[in-house]
Structure 1
């Protein structure tokens, strides 16, 4: 049985086939492929792309691969309008928030159409997924469609997926529509790319009603050489495209990947990127924009973060004059290292569903008990969905609002976020795009363990004595001293309790802690 894709990663090239081995130098280069050239390159700004300019950009973009010729915008609009509402993700997300429901969504992608369709059906029918994913392969993410085509051929020859996702551009619009027809849920694209232009055109034309990705979060998390500016530009195209559908009566769901580098990300850093990416999307006309954060595994902190994220996004949208942008929040199962013991992994999965339900998240992105070993089978993926769904059911009536510790943590997160966002907007003279680029150059914005050379990556998080994710070293981020004192106090108490030095070792231990065997995490009582 071929393996379905979990968290998208450009490191996961799952083939030992001759054509891939002989292409190592090519593979090395494509992981840092530059953005596609623009027909009209205007000065960087958050401003909406003008209609005439966008028409030129679309024409050039669609001409880059043969399947682009099959994109017919008017037909695509008709297709989306013909779908039942329960297959339109924009509507489904609004219903989830209205009913205080927490939806389930996995990740997954195979290298051939037949394999991927079977996966989507399994996740829909056996996993009971509320949202069905399509994760693209690494070649598609980096716009090397000729290598993706070789991967398709190799997968078909061997009868198993030799790509770590679905090559959407190669298969094109007609096949995308067949995937949508095969399931009875809305579908979302999970691309892990800083270059979403052609993939988004194909997917939207094929009936996909959701698309994950953003200029700040993905650029700082998935690629080394691409500048923050070019990452923002590439996603302004995606956001303008989604807004164009909205202008024609189709509400698509755009989503921001605030899980960032998939390591320990303090909520305030995730929320800063959520707010800024959201402002950039709103400026292009997006009206339905989801916000994502990885779980910290601390119940109070996760619940406080979900509430703070939604409220802060609305606060800064209002300051910009946007009062009609819907911003549901999604939590993701633990994004750092996982234990090999499947029983431990099952506990993390169930606990992750519990956290999402109690926090009021509109959806949760799930993992499987195979996470430590790599890419899960379709069946393991479906089991992870069902574990999560049961946990959501059990926790559906529990709320933390009003509890002193919850309110204290929420207020702390809000102060941290405002300190950074206000400075970023000041640096851009009110322009979120310009301010973001300048802030990364100065270290005012920073992401832990970022692979991108335009990100200083000096900020260092660690878990404190009470289990909260705190900031051990802010780098050059201008958090107020009284906030850093709160973080330092909890971290020093942990260092004293565990008899370790107050420093980087705390951060490293925090990354790997959850993956340790139970004998180490919670040893038996002894004399």
Structure 2
């Protein structure tokens, strides 16, 4: 299979940012059609297989019942479908289009997924013991670290070009001070590398201000260069992960801001959304249209706004993230124990995250500059403030032009 990291870096150098949908279907024929559609589009793309919710939580019996009854799942049940069928599907995409495929899942215990990936020969996925545990599960964080240690070793030993994208830049649909997202990317990346994963990618989800996003991504890029070897990683930008604008104009405006930040920072890969995100799962053709729209915007002069660089905010995010990284690493010579201790003591804390191992002694507000700004200290974060933060971008981008 293709070296995913090398492919993205080379395609970025030749054609600009590589575009990717969040696509997964339970029916193999439809999944094949989705991969073919993305690969054959006019955009600069890589392919995705997003797994279903039953597979994510290792409820393979429920996934099989859905397959047997013809019920539609919200993703591809990779463990239940025969490995040789999935392998044939991927080999066809490679033979026709020379494109890699990434597995996206959301599991705090991905061993069963990684074992099937090794069987198929698929080296590329996403997640980590922090980013796929705290937002999505009630699995104890220590258990998630143990699960991911085993799974990473299986993947690293079983395929030639193992690659994992840390999902840490998308915690809670953002709604965090970017400093914590930057710090968690680096810490999770260090964990993945220490357990054999060959190359990495670091994520960042669009927030409420493209100016702050540019400053934060620049801080992430600087810190990554200090901890990881050149050429061993790339960066991924996400179009907003929270409540999404409902109108076509809102989609265009929020996507334009995300792509402008991505172009300004030199982010190599983009995870796209579609105009129907707020209502339903997008169809294949809607995913392809969004990819081609983004490709047009990125490669057409004058289509995207210029994003100024806020040097003061860059310095703030860089300094705060560095403090979190260094303060965590100093806690224990064992990286996993250091991170676990940092969460147990509240040194690392995720606003709004209800996981029992997250102390929630830090919060976030949106400033007059439209920046996410973290704060320390006791404060109750309730459903009202959570929903208000989620709706902020709907109100901003669905406005009448």
Please tell me whether Structure 1 or Structure 2 has the larger radius of gyration of its CA atoms. 1
5 Å matches for 1:214-293?
214-224=128-138, 226-245=139-158, 250-258=160-168, 259-293=170-204
CA–CA distance in structure 1, aligned partners of residues 344 and 121 of structure 2: 39
Deviations 1:305-363 (A, max 9, x none): 2222122133245xxxxx46712110100011112222212322233222212221110
In structure 2, what is the equivalent of residue 164 of structure 1? 74
Q: Give 5+ residue unaligned stretches, structure 1.
A: 1-79, 81-86, 156-160, 318-322, 477-502
Is 1:328 aligned with 2:242?
Answer: no
Structure 2 counterpart of 1:212: 126
Q: Which of 46, 56, 66 is the aligned partner of 1:131?
A: 46
Q: Is the 8 A contact 1:176 1:207 kept in 2?
A: no
Q: Separation in 1 of the partners of 2:297 and 2:177?
A: 24
Aligned residue pairs, count: 393
* Residue pairs, 1:10-409, within 5 angstroms: 80=1, 87-96=2-11, 98-99=13-14, 101-126=16-41, 128=43, 130-155=45-70, 162-183=72-93, 184=97, 185-224=99-138, 226-245=139-158, 250-258=160-168, 259-317=170-228, 323=229, 326-394=232-300, 405-409=309-313
- Asked whether the 8 Å contact 1:358–1:398 carries over to 2, the reply is no
Larger mean Cα displacement after TM superposition, 343-352 or 271-280: 343-352
Residue 129 to residue 238, structure 1, CA distance change in 2 (3 Å): farther
* Structure 1 residue ranges (4+ consecutive) displaced by more than 6 angstroms after TM superposition: 395-401, 503-507
TM-score after normalising by structure 2: 0.89
Q: 1:60 is matched with which residue?
A: none
Indicate the SS of the match to 2:244.
coil
Cα pair distance change 1:182/1:353, threshold 3 Å: farther
Confirm or deny: 8 A CA contact 1:103 1:130 kept in the other structure: yes
Q: 3-state DSSP class of the match of 2:201?
A: strand
Contact 1:137 1:163 in 2 (8 A): yes
For residues 247-278 of structure 1, what are the alpha-carbon distances to aligned partners after superposition, in whole Å with 9 as ceiling and x for unaligned? Answer: xxx22321111212214232211111111111
- Distance in 2, matches of 1:315 and 1:396, equals 34
Contact 1:186 1:209 in 2 (8 A): no
Does 93-102 or 365-374 show the bigger shift? 93-102
Secondary structure of residue in 2 paired with 1:218: coil
Please state how far the C-alpha of 1:475 moved relative to its aligned partner: 4.2
Partner Cα distance (1:174, 1:96) in 2: 29
Per-residue CA distance 1:277-324 (angstroms, 9 max, x = gap): 11111212223110111112422222222222122133245xxxxx46
1:106-159: per-residue Cα shift (whole Å, max 9, x none)?
Answer: 11111121121112212222363611111111110011111101111222xxxx
Match of 2:348 among 425, 433, 445: 445
Structure 1 residues 446-483: Cα deviation after superposition (integer angstroms, max 9, x where no partner): 11222421112342222211122211x3348xxxxxxx
Structure 1 residues 314, 421: CA separation in 2 closer, same or farther (over 3 Å shift)? same
Query: What secondary structure sits across from 2:325 in the alignment?
Result: helix
CA RMSD of aligned residues (A): 2.7
Q: Distance in 1 between matches of 2:316 and 2:19?
A: 29
Unaligned runs of 5+ in 2: none
Q: TM-score, normalised to structure 1's length?
A: 0.69
Higher mean displacement: 297-306 or 195-204: 297-306
CA distance in 1, matches of 2:192, 2:310: 30
Secondary structure of the equivalent of 1:435?
helix
Taking a change above 3 Å as real, the CA distance of residues 368 and 127 of structure 1, as seen in their structure-2 partners, is farther
Residue aligned with 2:133, SS: helix
Pair 1:474-2:380 in alignment:
no
